[in-house]
Structure 1
Amino acid sequence: RKRDGYICQVCGVSQGFPALAIHHIDYNKHNNNPNNLITLCQSCNNKANHNRDYWTEYFEEKMRNKNDLRDRTLGKA
């Protein structure tokens, strides 16, 4: 939640703790790698539990873009 600024990474709503959920991108609750976790509001988290193929691809792309931006900012690219 902190990494994502306490903001839902789909709709942009800022609800703070505990209203925001941590979603596992690959739907594996044991994979707690930060690149597999994304902050969602309850509404978006509920949506993400349907049509999993779409949402997995969506979140993976979002995390790639976030990591690319971080790397460029830190001079790693």
Structure 2
Amino acid sequence: MQRERGERSPKRLRADDACSASLPPVESVQQQYSTQQQQQQQQEQQQQQQQQQQATTRPHQQQQHQQQQQQQQQQQAAA
């Protein structure tokens, strides 16, 4: 004879209770997961911003460096 799904043996109930007691609540796991996702997204955004800043400052720095070299050459030529 099979038992209905709603009925469980006392041993089975104790095993289920023990398992569920050892697991953290679902809400805390979901919250932790979403927090990790947010942190990851923030880090990616920061990296993208840094890369964009570097991309915009590098040509400017190169231009300054070229201007300095030209000024030095002009000064040497004038001397």
**Structure 2 length normalisation: TM-score?**
0.32
Higher strand share: 1
| Relative contact order, higher structure (CA 8 A, sep 6+) | 1
